[in-house]
Structure 1
């Protein structure tokens, strides 16, 4: 895999994917809304790793902008830029601070556009192009939240996980690897940008971004459709998958009530 296209590349896990892949000699196409942040990262990577880096600004919730990215995924690339995309990393996403019924429905729709529709459209473009060439990889960033009935974010990540498993089956015979990485809480800007107070979460529950990326890339290369970094989260997801859905829902509901009662007490 010589060229990787990464969505949500300006910060967090996306930036870590960019740094790791550049260090391994991959040319890059970086996609995000923040042009300044993309240009700054691209300059750093060109200097540090000596790789070709394209900057492709796009809001993936905008269908026209998404199509531009899909065309780049399926095409050869501009002269002098990075080449054909051999690895697609669908990383773009964001969380909403408010509960579903307290959120603006337009924000909920935008989240689904970025975390589900964009994954579908870009995976379709990549899957077709890569299967014709007989090689390539698609790595979708999901979450441990996919295994917990906890609102629209969990639902979006559950969709990504199930979609990835089906796509992995479809493309296995064509030499294309497909995987969904499902990290738990990870030290990035994600929660800060969503204005979520995570100060009470114990340190042992946190993963490091480079750890998540290394495990994700390793499991993709091994052909694992689902990748869960960190032993505690592997155990947790195994437990959640073995728990009857009704019991898991009741546990989530009880936890939500406990959190609300704590907020009222304060």
Structure 2
């Protein structure tokens, strides 16, 4: 039985990943900060799909939390065949307006955690000759207007480098670049204004993002943008001079 581990699984895209993977016959390991919320997701998921859901409460902005998940990924008795690096958040403020504690947490969850967890998962996957790393980046990676965007760009670059290094091992690496998604990501005071600033057509449903991401993993595709309009927008952003994508506003997209 294939096992998938999903970070940030208590809501939003992470919860949708868990549902689609369980529906497809995967056992899932649910990682998130709230045990109560993970228990609720696991109860509903197992009741509907019959698939086992393992709870792993952990705060990935801390070394203790990351190490707990890394240890689970290194457990050869119950090997994980798919790691979904999904956990993340946005600050909605410029670098000079935030505290270092906030920026450090942002860096840890977007950069340190995916790197550390991927590093823990790969030896077993390579030894078994199969596995996949899926990292939820963002169309914001095509911009240069925030530390969030810089972290998301790193995720894409990391995935591309990893994909090259893993060629021939049976293990793949994929980054998905969603645009605006209808999740609780934008419920915070810092980001809620974005709901009114963008038209309904700009928002994607979690189902379509996750479906596209998992299809890309099955194909072994390295980078996927799960929307034609965002794919075009991302391509155009890549053609613009850097100074034109360095807007003052910080537009977090996941």
TM-score normalised by L of structure 2: 0.94
Structure 2: state its 5+ residue gaps: none
Task: Tell me if 1:252 matches 2:250.
Answer: no
Give the aligned partner of residue 28 of structure 1: 28
Alignment partners' CA distance in 2, 1:160 and 1:25: 28
Distance 1:202 1:27, change over 3 A: same
Give the aligned partner of residue 54 of structure 1: 54
CA contact (8 A) 2:22 2:51 kept: yes
Give the aligned partner of residue 84 of structure 1: 79
Q: Which runs of 4+ in 1 moved over 6 A?
A: none
Q: What's the CA shift for 1:36?
A: 0.6
- CA-to-aligned-CA distance 1:36-87 (integer Å, 9 cap, x gap): 100000011111100111000000111122111001112135xxxxx31000
Deviates most, 153-162 or 166-175: 166-175
Q: What's the CA shift for 1:251?
A: 4.7
Structure with greater helix percent: 1
Alignment partners' CA distance in 1, 2:243 and 2:5: 37
Alignment partners' CA distance in 1, 2:245 and 2:118: 34
Deviates most, 100-109 or 193-202: 193-202
- CA-to-aligned-CA distance 1:85-105 (integer Å, 9 cap, x gap): 000000000000222111111
Aligned pair count reads 249
Q: What's the CA shift for 1:195?
A: 3.5
Q: 2:216 aligns with which of 216, 219, 229?
A: 219
Give the aligned partner of residue 12 of structure 1: 12
Rg (Cα) greater in structure: 1
Alignment partners' CA distance in 1, 2:189 and 2:137: 17
Distance 1:135 1:103, change over 3 A: same
Task: Tell me if 1:141 matches 2:136.
Answer: yes
Alignment partners' CA distance in 2, 1:70 and 1:250: 39
Give the aligned partner of residue 206 of structure 1: 203
Alignment partners' CA distance in 2, 1:167 and 1:194: 36
Q: 1:151 aligns with which of 146, 170, 194?
A: 146
TM-score normalised by L of structure 1: 0.90
